[in-house]
């Protein structure tokens, strides 16, 4: 599979009914087949950026291109096979079982009237096994702990087999063990040619997982590029508006607030 | 159904979820961390309960059998020749009995089945596409609109006079039911506040209130001897005036809508997810929800125009079905249709059999529905407790 590049050029976006624009001329290149971390304070526009790449939101001006093509050139189902999303704090009001929920990841491969076929069950079971949650298949979602739940959300997106993986704060509220599991799953996906983008409030996580980093503040990309180049104390301090130190311990970067 | 193996009354958990303001997974995880291991919850779950296609099939066949039995019993229930039950042999021997069964009971039972299926199916659809287990099919101004339409027809055009609950009432009720939806959705589009669902709910409440005020005015000016009783009786819901022509007149719309809902039942799960996730899975959430909404409202307006307002079926039956068959609409939607049909036939049979006079169906449905609801809430205090902590 050739990995898919994502290009945002001169994006303008404003939520309907709001005075202030989120983006006024944002341009970004997301390199294909890599992990890109989007960092920035609350309200910087991180989730909005993911929704623009997803196609849920349409910029008032400028283009978002997936593999050099705009969203409107894809059908809804094609786009569903192309881009997967694990939303931030997804609220699921009905107590689906884990298996029923993971099967929903197969929706882009089924037409309106179809229900999952035997092969979809196999893919869903496989996705659950990959996140290490095979034995949870028959449990209702509402009996899961936060960590288990996040793994199940990931299994759903794995069953979707998207080429672009969008993760909105994938490790928020997770313990260290589950965090590690999520990290290695994302890395595995990228190794198979997936382009992954995630937002996070944890610079350490970005340092551990990302190849590329985008630092955002108030709708602007303060810095974007390779982790080594962008992940500096100066850039991070500017992003969060507090003095920040970046320490190197062996091969790891550790971020400290002064 | 063995009580011990029942893990959670899911519908109660839905209510609990919605009663609490913060539903974030963050809190769920925190609750778990505080109260200990999720394994405890796991122990309560019998692994075969949900998501088992064989069990689901068996349950659905069971419910279908229940519906058939209810219908058969209803055919032989009534007050002719003597109260409660008549012998099947009478059908062959007594031409009057045959007349009563063929021309009075059968159309009425058919209408009851359609009524129950429509309300329960529309209720399931509404609850899922609005992602809120507390909504019912009438909440977008459909029920109150239809009531207003019926009242207007009875009072202003005297349609009820010559021919009790004639086609005038039916047309007027269906029209105003749809008008209710139209007003609510137009209003919702203009409200500059909150998300789409909240706006629809607010608009529905406002439009319902307007129509019910209108009904109040019409009640006030209605002739207390001729018009008011008919109006009140219509508002209480009843199937006593159903004939073959009425039953057949609602058949095309309701059956079309129900078939559409059944065909899209797996898709319904997708539409119960939040917009971003549903969109990411290749759905067009707004458009698909609108199609289902229109089908459901069309069917509800049409049945309500014949039956009057029958509450509770659209709210409680979807919960029952989810509890029996799990949240997946693949099982819970057909389950809700079957339970709804059987429940409506059961209530309507009681309504026409118990007393020499007719008991309004709406009253019985509310009475029995609310009793079941309360009973279900009381029988499983332990699961409920577990659910609060988990």
What local confidence, expressed as pLDDT, does residue A90 receive? Answer: 84
What local confidence, expressed as pLDDT, does residue B39 receive? Answer: 36
Rounded CA gap, A212 and A207, in Å? 9
Rounded CA gap, B377 and B368, in Å? 14
What local confidence, expressed as pLDDT, does residue B20 receive? Answer: 38
> Does B266 contact chain A (CB < 8 Å)?
yes
Strands A69-70 and A61-66: antiparallel
The alpha-carbon radius of gyration of chain B (Å, integer) is: 22
What local confidence, expressed as pLDDT, does residue B158 receive? Answer: 64
Instruction: Kindly give the residue spans of alpha helices, DSSP state H, lying in B156-243.
Output: 159-162, 167-190, 196-221, 227-236
Mean pLDDT along residues B244-271: 94
CB atoms within 10 A of CB B264: 20
In the predicted structure, residue A115 carries a pLDDT above the cut 60: yes
Give me the sign of the Cα torsion angle B129, B130, B131, B135: negative
Cα–Cα distance list, B253 to B224, B297, B312 (Å): 35, 10, 22
Cβ A84–B275 below 8 Å, yes or no? no
Cα–Cα distance list, A246 to A208, A255, B190 (Å): 13, 5, 50
SS3 (DSSP) at B85: strand
What local confidence, expressed as pLDDT, does residue B33 receive? Answer: 38
Residue B67 maps to a domain: no
Nearest CA in chain B to A18: B192
Which 8-state DSSP code applies to residue B358? P
**Which chain A residues have a beta carbon less than 8 Å from that of B390?**
142-143
Q: What does pLDDT average to over chain B? A: 81
Identify the weakest region by mean pLDDT among A191-200, B140-149, B204-213. B140-149
What local confidence, expressed as pLDDT, does residue A159 receive? Answer: 97
Q: How confident is the model at residue A154 (pLDDT cuts 50, 70, 90)?
A: very high
Tens of pLDDT, residue by residue over B345-389, are: 999 999 999 988 889 999 999 999 889 888 877 775 433 333 332
From the list B25, B281, B328, which residue is nearest A89 (CB)? B25
Tens of pLDDT, residue by residue over A60-96, are: 999 999 999 999 999 999 999 999 999 988 888 898 9
Instruction: Kindly give the residue spans of alpha helices, DSSP state H, lying in chain A.
Output: 46-54, 76-82, 98-103, 118-130, 146-160, 176-191, 203-209, 227-230, 233-240
Q: How confident is the model at residue A253 (pLDDT cuts 50, 70, 90)?
A: confident
What local confidence, expressed as pLDDT, does residue B51 receive? Answer: 56
With a pLDDT cut of 70, the percent of chain B lying above it is 82
Full residue range of the structural domain in which residue B279 is found = 123-389
Tens of pLDDT, residue by residue over B136-181, are: 888 888 888 988 998 898 888 765 454 445 677 888 888 898 899 8
Cβ B26–A146 below 8 Å, yes or no? yes
CB pairs below 8 Å between A and B: how many? Answer: 167
In the predicted structure, residue B31 carries a pLDDT above the cut 80: no
What local confidence, expressed as pLDDT, does residue A106 receive? Answer: 97
In the predicted structure, residue B2 carries a pLDDT above the cut 80: no
In the predicted structure, residue B303 carries a pLDDT above the cut 50: yes
Whose tokens are 């029988």? That residue is B379
Domain layout of chain A by residue ranges: 6-257
Half-sphere exposure of B98 (CA within 13 A, CB side): 6
Rounded CA gap, A173 and B28, in Å? 10
> Does B279 contact chain A (CB < 8 Å)?
yes
What local confidence, expressed as pLDDT, does residue B238 receive? Answer: 86
Q: How many residues does chain A have?
A: 258
Identify the weakest region by mean pLDDT among A80-94, A205-219, B76-90, B248-262. B76-90
What lies within 8 Å, CB to CB, of A83 at 6+ separation is A53, A54, A55, A66, A162, A163, A164, A166, B280
Mutate to test the interface with B, among A145, A149, A150, A201 (most CBs of B within 10 A): A145
Residue B269 maps to a domain: yes
What local confidence, expressed as pLDDT, does residue B116 receive? Answer: 96
Between the two ends of chain A, the Cα-to-Cα distance in Å is 44
What local confidence, expressed as pLDDT, does residue A247 receive? Answer: 87
In the predicted structure, residue B45 carries a pLDDT above the cut 60: no
Tens of pLDDT, residue by residue over B85-142, are: 888 888 888 889 889 999 999 999 999 999 999 999 999 999 999 888 888 888 888 8
Cis before A104 (ω within 30): no
- The domain tally of chain B equals 1
**What is the full DSSP assignment across B264-321?**
THHHHHHHTS-HHHHHHTT--HHHHHHHHHHHHHHHHHHHHHHH----SHHHHHHHHH
Residue B305 maps to a domain: yes
Residue B71 maps to a domain: no
What local confidence, expressed as pLDDT, does residue B32 receive? Answer: 41
> Does B33 contact chain A (CB < 8 Å)?
yes
What local confidence, expressed as pLDDT, does residue A255 receive? Answer: 87
Rounded CA gap, A256 and A41, in Å? 16
Mutate to test the interface with B, among A94, A98, A169, A177 (most CBs of B within 10 A): A94
Cβ B29–A146 below 8 Å, yes or no? yes
Residue B77 maps to a domain: no
Nearest CA in chain B to A104: B270
CATH, residue B181: 1.10.3470.10
Higher-pLDDT residue of A106, B374: A106
Token code pair at residue B227: 């018009």
In the predicted structure, residue B8 carries a pLDDT above the cut 90: no
Residue B327 maps to a domain: yes
What local confidence, expressed as pLDDT, does residue A162 receive? Answer: 96
What local confidence, expressed as pLDDT, does residue B161 receive? Answer: 52
Cβ B25–A113 below 8 Å, yes or no? no
Rounded CA gap, A41 and B122, in Å? 43
Rounded CA gap, A171 and A50, in Å? 16
Nearest CA in chain B to A87: B277
Cβ B282–A77 below 8 Å, yes or no? yes
In the predicted structure, residue B48 carries a pLDDT above the cut 50: no
Rounded CA gap, A70 and A61, in Å? 13
CATH class of A6-257: alpha beta
Which ipTM score applies to this complex? 0.94
What local confidence, expressed as pLDDT, does residue B166 receive? Answer: 62
Mean pLDDT along residues A23-28: 92
In the predicted structure, residue A2 carries a pLDDT above the cut 60: yes
Q: Which helix (H) or strand (E) holds B388?
A: helix B381-389
In the predicted structure, residue A35 carries a pLDDT above the cut 50: yes
Rounded CA gap, B63 and B131, in Å? 26
Residue B19 maps to a domain: no
Q: CB–CB of B316/B369 below 8 Å?
A: yes
Rounded CA gap, B359 and B357, in Å? 7
């Amino acid at each position: 599979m050739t990995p898919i590049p994502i290009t945002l050029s001169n994006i303008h976006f404003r939520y309907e009914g709001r005075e202030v624009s989120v983006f006024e001329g944002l341009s970004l290149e997301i390199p294909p087949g890599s992990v890109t971390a989007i960092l920035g304070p609350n309200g910087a526009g991180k989730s909005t950026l993911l929704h623009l790449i997803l196609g849920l939101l349409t910029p008032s001006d400028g283009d978002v291109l997936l593999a050099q093509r705009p969203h409107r050139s894809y059908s809804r189902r094609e786009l569903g096979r192309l881009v997967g999303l694990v939303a931030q704090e997804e609220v699921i009001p009905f107590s689906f079982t884990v298996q029923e929920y993971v099967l929903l990841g197969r929706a882009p491969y089924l037409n309106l009237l179809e229900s999952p076929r035997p092969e979809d069950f196999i893919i869903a079971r496989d996705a659950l096994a990959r996140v290490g949650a095979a034995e949870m298949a028959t449990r209702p979602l509402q009996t899961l702990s936060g960590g288990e739940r996040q793994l199940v959300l990931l299994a759903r997106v794995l069953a979707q087999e998207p080429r672009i993986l969008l993760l909105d704060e994938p490790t928020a509220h997770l313990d260290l063990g589950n965090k590690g599991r999520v990290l290695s799953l994302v890395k595995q996906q990228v190794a198979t040619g997936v382009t992954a983008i995630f937002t996070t409030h944890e610079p350490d996580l970005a340092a551990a997982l990302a190849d590329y980093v985008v630092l955002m503040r108030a709708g602007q990309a303060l810095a974007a590029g390779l982790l080594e180049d962008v992940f500096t104390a100066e850039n991070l301090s500017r992003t969060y508006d507090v003095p920040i130190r970046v320490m190197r311990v062996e091969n790891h970067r550790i971020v400290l607030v002064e | 159904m063995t009580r011990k193996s029942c893990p959670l009354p899911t519908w109660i958990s839905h209510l609990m979820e919605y009663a609490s303001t913060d539903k974030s997974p963050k809190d769920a995880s925190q609750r778990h961390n505080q109260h200990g291991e999720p394994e405890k919850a796991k122990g309560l779950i019998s692994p075969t309960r949900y998501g088992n296609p064989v069990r689901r099939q068996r349950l659905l066949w069971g419910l279908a059998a229940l519906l058939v039995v209810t219908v058969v019993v209803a055919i032989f229930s009534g007050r002719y020749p003597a109260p409660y039950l008549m012998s099947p042999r009478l059908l062959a021997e007594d031409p009057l009995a045959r007349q009563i069964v063929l021309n009075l009971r059968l159309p009425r039972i058919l209408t009851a089945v359609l009524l129950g299926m429509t309300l329960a199916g529309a209720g399931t659809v509404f609850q899922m596409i609005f992602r809120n287990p507390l909504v019912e099919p009438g909440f977008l101004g459909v029920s109150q609109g239809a009531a207003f339409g019926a009242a207007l027809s009875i009072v202003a055009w005297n349609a009820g006079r010559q021919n009790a609950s004639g086609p005038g009432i039916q047309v007027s009720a269906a029209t105003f039911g749809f008008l209710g939806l139209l007003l609510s959705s137009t209003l919702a589009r203009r409200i500059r506040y909150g998300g789409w669902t909240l706006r629809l709910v607010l608009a529905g409440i406002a439009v319902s209130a307007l129509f019910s005020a209108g009904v109040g005015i019409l009640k006030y000016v209605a002739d207390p001897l001729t018009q008011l009783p008919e109006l009140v009786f219509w508002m209480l819901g009843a199937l006593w005036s159903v004939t073959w022509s009425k039953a057949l007149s609602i058949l095309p719309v309701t059956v079309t809508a129900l078939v559409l809902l059944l065909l899209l039942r797996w898709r319904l799960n997708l539409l119960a997810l939040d917009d971003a996730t549903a969109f990411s899975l290749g759905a067009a959430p707004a458009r698909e929800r609108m199609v289902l909404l229109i089908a459901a409202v069309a069917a509800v307006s049409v049945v309500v125009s014949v039956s009057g307002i029958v509450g509770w079926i659209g709210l409680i039956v979807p919960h029952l079905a989810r509890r029996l068959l799990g949240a997946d609409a693949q099982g819970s939607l057909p389950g809700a249709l079957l339970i709804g049909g059987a429940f409506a036939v059961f209530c309507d049979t009681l309504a026409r059999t118990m007393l020499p006079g007719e008991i309004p169906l709406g009253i019985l449905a509310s009475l029995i529905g609310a009793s079941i609801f309360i009973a279900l809430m009381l029988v499983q205090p332990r699961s409920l407790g577990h659910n609060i902590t988990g």
